Amino acid sequence: MFSTTRFIVKKIPYQAMVPAAMVIALTLFPLLASADEDSCRETGIYIGNQTTLDLWYTRNGGPCTIWRHGHLLTMKPEDTLIIYSDIACKKEYCSDNPTYDVYKSFDTNQNCRVRILPDCALSDM
């Protein structure tokens, strides 16, 4: 019968559009606000050793511990993690030791997993 766009627009009840827009807005604003939060804060960020070398690390000034290639470490925001290339934990593997925020910046898909590659290159996992 009337297949024009004008007829279709006239049939939409405008009284229902305002509540619908409010529901959409009230649903989206909290979701957008939570996007800036650190989703890895509770569990920590997982760092995979994909250097093909066994490395060593100290966490918060603790003992020198081996980190086998192919294995994961967990780092929380309050941790200080230093990675070494020697068993005595004297020679740092990375010239400028990455912090939690640096690792987090490489986690582009927000799954709390990054990897360290040869020559201390970092990438998302």
The pLDDT profile of the chain, 125 residues, written as one tens digit per residue, is 555 655 555 555 666 666 766 666 677 666 555 555 788 888 999 999 999 999 999 999 999 999 999 999 999 999 999 999 999 999 999 988 899 999 999 999 989 999 999 999 999 98
In sequence order, what are the beta bridge partners of 47?
Answer: 73, 114
Candidates 46, 47, 50, 48; CA nearest to 119 is: 50
Residue 16 CB-density burial (10 A; 0-12 exposed, 13-18 middle, 19+ buried): exposed
User: 81: which 2 tokens?
Assistant: 């993690």
What's the confidence (pLDDT) of residue 66?
96
Measure the CA–CA gap between 69 and 59, rounded to whole angstroms: 17
Measure the CA–CA gap between 70 and 107, rounded to whole angstroms: 18
What's the confidence (pLDDT) of residue 10?
59
What's the confidence (pLDDT) of residue 38?
80
Measure the CA–CA gap between 100 and 25, rounded to whole angstroms: 34
What stretches of 2-76 show up as alpha helix (H) in DSSP? 5-11, 14-34
Instruction: Give first-to-last CA distance, the chain, whole Å.
Output: 57
User: 56: which 2 tokens?
Assistant: 């060593």
